[in-house]
Amino acid sequence: MRVLGLDPGLRHTGWGVIDIAGNRLSHVADGVVHAPVDLSLAERLVRLFRQLGDVLERFHPDEAAVEETFVNKNPSSTLKLGVARGVVLLAPAERGLPVSEYSANMVKKSVVGAGHAEKEQVQLMVRRLLPGCLIAQADAADALAVAICHAHHSRTLAAWGGATARSA
C-alpha cells in the first residue's frame, strides 16, 4: 500500500510518500509545495490544490493521511490555516482516496513515543524508520511522520473490522 502524508500550511504544505509492505516501511519521496504570500488567499488555495494534484498524479497513493490543525492564539491565522487544511483534505478526497486525520500528539507519539516530542526528535526518528531518507525540509519530515503514523494505525483499525481513523 502507498500512503501520502500531508502536513497542511497556507505558505508551505509538506508531503511525504511511503510504501507499506507488511511491517516494512519504505521512503518513496517527500517535499513541500509552496503558495506565494503575494497572491490573494483564493489564488494561494488554487496553487496549493494544483500542486497537491501534481503530487497525487505523480505518485498514485492508495490512501492519504493529514495532520489535524491546532488552534493558534491568533484567530485570523487559525482560520486561514483551516482553509488551507480544507484544500489539503479535498485534493486526495476529490480523487476518491480515503483520507484519515491524526492529531499532532498522536503523530509524535506514533513516531517518537512521546506526544510532546520536539521537531528534531521527529526528524531523527523519521530518518531511522525510513533508512536512506534525506529530508530536505521540516514540513516534509512532519508529513512523512503523518504517513508513518497512518501506517501503524491503519493496520490496527483494519484488524478491528474496517473502522476509519477519522476520529483518531
Number of C-beta neighbours around residue 93 at 10 A: 13
Q: Which of 63, 67, 101, 142 is flagged as catalytic? A: 67
29 has pLDDT over 60: yes
Catalytic site residue 139?
yes
Structural domain spans, the chain: 2-159
Checking 36-45 for CB contacts under 8 A at 24+ apart, the result is: 37/11, 41/80, 41/83, 44/10, 44/84, 45/83, 45/84, 45/87
Number of C-beta neighbours around residue 19 at 10 A: 17
Catalytic site residue 54?
no
Residue 157 has what pLDDT? Answer: 63
Catalytic site residue 57?
no
Is the distance from CB of 27 to CB of 130 less than 8 angstroms?
yes
Q: Which of 63, 101, 139, 142 is flagged as catalytic? A: 139
108 has pLDDT over 50: yes
Task: Report, as an integer, the average pLDDT of 84-103.
Answer: 96
Q: pLDDT above 70 covers what percent of the chain?
A: 90
CB within 8 Å of 86: residues ≥ 6 apart: none
Q: Which of 7, 63, 101, 142 is flagged as catalytic? A: 7
Looking at 3.40.50.80, 3.90.550.10, 3.40.50.10490, 3.30.420.10, the CATH number of the domain 2-159 comes to 3.30.420.10
30 in helix, strand or coil? strand
pLDDT digits (tens, 9 = 90+) for 52-92: 999 999 999 999 999 997 767 788 888 888 999 999 999 99
**CA dist., res. 16 & res. 56, Å (int):** 11
Q: What is the grid cell recorded at 26?
A: 519504505
pLDDT digits (tens, 9 = 90+) for 2-27: 999 999 999 999 999 999 998 899 99
Is the distance from CB of 152 to CB of 84 less than 8 angstroms?
no
Residue 143 has what pLDDT? Answer: 97
